[in-house]
Structure 1
Amino acid sequence: MEALNKNGMVLIGCGRMGSALLAAWLDTGLAHEAVTVVEPYPSDWLKEQAAKGLRLNADIPANPAVLILATKPQMMKEVMGQIEGDFADTLFISVAAGTPISFFEAELGADAKIVRVMPNTPALLKKGVSALVANKAAQGAPLAAAQDLMTAVGVVEILTDEEDIHAVIGLSGSGPAYVFAFVEALVAAGKDAGLEEDLAFRLARDTLVGAAAMIGDNFAEVATLRENVTSPGGTTAAALKVFAESEPNLNALVSAVVKASKDRSIELAEMA
């Protein structure tokens, strides 16, 4: 944080994700006085940070250490048109889905240091997963700096091919919504089976949290965990048989879901 506190950070867009990132960085030693935030609709929390010294909707300082773009993709063209000045040493970090690095290079120049980040919403609890990919100018120390920043809100994966970001969006970017949808489906199934909604919700939630906690670092062990719950001819075996024999089966359905998100990400990138 020393370089950031010395040379400053600019955050353009401070909605849920921008606020989660900023809160984590402030918690890890980023000085309020070093931060400039541009946000037309500031939350009460952001106004509180301004009262502590954060610069809210002030002029963007020259050559900040980092400039984070956390606006909606459809606003990015307008936002980039408003960024003027000396950014020779600035690391640009974009958390906008669907906006490729080539767009930023066209706006800022090929020599600009650009890192594209795809976080997900558990970052709000510092339990997110973020995938990073950098252009040629941002390899090495700039990419490492971006990795350090994103580690404040969870785990980080480094990509070497920007095209992989679309699959990441389909899997982990949109993934929390799939989990939430599955919980909703479990609760509905519990109600159909005769349980009260509140009880069905607690059972579904706590089962999911507990099962997730059992997963370690080795993917091969996941199959063992599943098998340990599945007695031959038992209740779980009967349930998993439905997953396997449905049309489409569980694997095919999840693959189609991830592909739909990935394909939409590609479409948005082509529109940028």
Structure 2
Amino acid sequence: MSGSGRPVVLQGVGRLGSAILEGWLATGAVDPADLIILTPSEKPVAEAARAKGARINPPLEALADARAFVIGVKPAKWLEAAQAVLPHLASDAVIVSVMAGVRGETISEGYHGRPVVRVMPTTGVAQARGVATLWSSDADALKVGQTLFEPIAETVLLDDEALMHAATAVSGCGPAYFFAFTRALAEAGEAEGLSPAAAARLARATLRSAAAGAEGDEALNALIDRVASPGGVTEAGLIALNENGALDRSVESAVKAAVAKSTELSG
């Protein structure tokens, strides 16, 4: 979207909004001169964008030529936050929602029929290493979403909006699951005599190493087999980890709970 001349508006610079903005600044996915940032409070990443040419909280008339409007506020606040901008926003602006659980049709109605693309990114977009699931019923809106997120994330396109719940549960929530497991791994190392610092460092470094090993399309079972030799130490640990299917059931329960919450939020 760099150099398009029509601005991209980011409303809200919380954790996810900040991560998206960091990724855009790092990759040049959006020319800072084409960025308008709406935020009620001062944010370091917004100030960094300002230094590169972005506009922070300009007069709302500046939205009249916006090509895309990214909703980065919390789901409970989006409709209220829309009211101030609606009279000024370009009629053909694509609404890009990164909110979990709010249906595209509902968002489009709230934005007076404007086309919507839903995106569920991870905060890894800050390092241009994110994952983003996209859905839209409008082909042009989908292309706008791809233009904004493909430079900062591996993107997966869905053809059914209902699958956004599952995608959110797997990918949007997934980093927290991995971090929770890494924490448990560090605590288990401590229990076996490692110092807290050593255990945490080993667990974190192992997470990074495993992520590097997952690059590419090699089957996940093959990746496991590369580490777990038959009759070896790793295999013994894996057997204990998934005794009677305990690991599989825990992960399935986590995904089901996240899907249920996402569905509940969608009304």
TM-score normalized by the length of structure 2:
0.90
Alignment correspondent of 1:255: 252
Q: What does 1:31-110 align with in structure 2 at a 5 Å threshold? A: 31-60=31-60, 61-82=63-84, 83-85=86-88, 87-110=90-113
What secondary structure does 1:156 align onto? strand
Verify the 8 A CA contact 1:14 1:42 in the aligned structure 2: no
What is the CA deviation profile of residues 88-127 of structure 1, one whole-angstrom value per residue up to 9, with x for unaligned ones? 32111011112111211222344x2110110011112211
Q: What does 1:1-272 align with in structure 2 at a 5 Å threshold? A: 1=1, 4=4, 6-26=5-25, 27-28=27-28, 30-60=30-60, 61-82=63-84, 83-85=86-88, 87-110=90-113, 112-135=114-137, 138-139=138-139, 141-218=140-217, 221-246=219-244, 249-270=246-267
Q: Aligned in 2, Cα 1:235/1:91: closer, same or farther, shift over 3 Å?
A: same
State, as a whole percentage, how many aligned pairs show the same letter. Answer: 33
5+ residue gaps in structure 2? none
What secondary structure does 2:131 align onto? strand
Per the TM alignment, residue 2 of structure 1 is displaced from its structure 2 partner at its CA by: 5.0
Q: Aligned in 2, Cα 1:177/1:2: closer, same or farther, shift over 3 Å?
A: closer
Moved over 4 A (4+): none
- Count of residue pairs the alignment pairs up: 263
Per the TM alignment, residue 51 of structure 1 is displaced from its structure 2 partner at its CA by: 4.6
Q: Aligned in 2, Cα 1:251/1:105: closer, same or farther, shift over 3 Å?
A: same
Q: CA RMSD in A?
A: 2.0
CA distance in 2, matches of 1:229, 1:31: 43
TM-score normalized by the length of structure 1:
0.89
CA distance in 2, matches of 1:29, 1:180: 28
Q: Aligned in 2, Cα 1:48/1:235: closer, same or farther, shift over 3 Å?
A: closer
Per the TM alignment, residue 192 of structure 1 is displaced from its structure 2 partner at its CA by: 0.6
